[in-house]
């Protein structure tokens, strides 16, 4: 952690460009602009007519419908990607090639080949890459993890976690942004801190790749009706 004594000058904020001004992007934009003092939201990009402008105007940032403008902007230190998932990998690769630190919403990729492409792009550009695994920053999940790590429950055999999100059959009282407000803020604060200090992000591209491999094995298992080892999806 940086020494923040009263006499030290406040380090310049990390200047962030936000890609995607939909539901999640709007929440992240508000978090960056209002809840993280070390971040400054300077530009929002979204190809949908009016989407970036609507968000940026409330948050005091510039707006563009062209993500290339944002990636070419030398004032942007770091990019937060909250576009539709199909575009994540290409945006990570583009942002890394432009020398920006990258935070990407989950999923970072839809195939293991694309996950490798994103990881390699960040590695070869030498930029930090963090993925939006917000629950790692939720105080209750973190406390449970610490208990397990300290041996408090012996060797875990099974973890069951159910969160009922608003959607796909029955509406719910709280949205994910209500349930995980602190976790969403915590993950972006940790990203900004990693960019400022040069520390390795707490959630890496490799973590996203690991989660994707498990998800692909689960999908294959549902489709085939049999257990599927992670090795099998790795070989595909």
Ligand X SMILES: NC(=O)c1ccc[n+]([C@@H]2O[C@H](COP(=O)([O-])OP(=O)(O)OC[C@H]3O[C@@H](n4cnc5c(N)ncnc54)[C@H](O)[C@@H]3O)[C@@H](O)[C@H]2O)c1
13's tokens: 């904020």
Does residue 200 contact residue 191 with C-beta atoms inside 8 Å?
A: no
Q: Pick from 13, 87, 207, 213 the residue near ligand X by CB under 6 A.
A: 87
Using CB under 6 A as the binding rule, whether residue 46 contacts ligand X is answered as yes
Using CB under 6 A as the binding rule, whether residue 67 contacts ligand X is answered as yes
The residue number with the shortest CB distance to ligand X is 22
A 10 A CB-CB count for 22 gives 14
Site size for ligand X (CB under 6 A): 23
77's tokens: 């230190």
Residue placing its CB nearer to ligand X in the complex, 46 or 77: 46
- For the purposes of burial, counting CB atoms within 10 Å of the CB of 112, is it exposed (0-12), middle (13-18) or buried (19 or more)? middle
Binding mask 116-145 for ligand X (x = CB under 6 A): ----------------x-x-----------
Sole residue written with tokens 């709280």: 174
Contacts of ligand X in 161-190 (CB under 6 A): 176
Measured between alpha carbons, how far is 179 from 182 in angstroms, rounded to an integer? 8
14's tokens: 């990390």
Q: How far is the CB of 87 from ligand X (least distance, A)?
A: 4
Using CB under 6 A as the binding rule, whether residue 85 contacts ligand X is answered as yes
Interface residues with ligand X (CB under 6 A) are 19-25, 45-48, 51, 67, 82-85, 87, 105-106, 132, 134, 176
């Amino acid at each position: 952690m940086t020494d923040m004594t009263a006499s030290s000058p406040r380090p310049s904020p990390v200047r962030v460009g936000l890609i995607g001004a939909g539901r999640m992007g709007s929440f992240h934009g508000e978090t960056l602009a209002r809840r993280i003092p070390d971040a400054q939201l300077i530009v929002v990009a979204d190809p949908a007519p009016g989407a970036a402008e609507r968000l940026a105007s409330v948050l005091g940032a510039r707006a563009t419908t062209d993500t290339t403008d944002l990636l070419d902007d030398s004032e942007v230190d770091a990019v937060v990607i909250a576009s539709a998932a199909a575009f994540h990998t290409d945006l990570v690769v583009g942002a890394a090639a432009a020398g920006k630190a990258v935070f990407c919403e989950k999923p970072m990729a839809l195939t293991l080949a694309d996950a490798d492409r994103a990881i390699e792009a960040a590695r070869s550009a030498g930029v930090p890459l963090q993925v939006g695994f917000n629950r790692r920053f939720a105080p209750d999940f973190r406390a449970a993890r610490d208990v397990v790590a300290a041996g408090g429950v012996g060797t875990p055999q099974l973890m069951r976690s159910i969160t009922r999100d608003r959607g796909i059959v029955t509406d719910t009282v709280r949205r994910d942004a209500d349930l995980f407000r602190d976790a969403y803020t915590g993950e972006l604060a940790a990203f900004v801190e990693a960019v400022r200090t040069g520390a390795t992000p707490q959630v890496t591209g490799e973590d996203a790749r690991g989660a994707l491999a498990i998800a692909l094995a689960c999908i294959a298992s549902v489709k085939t009706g049999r257990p599927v080892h992670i090795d099998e999806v790795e070989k595909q």
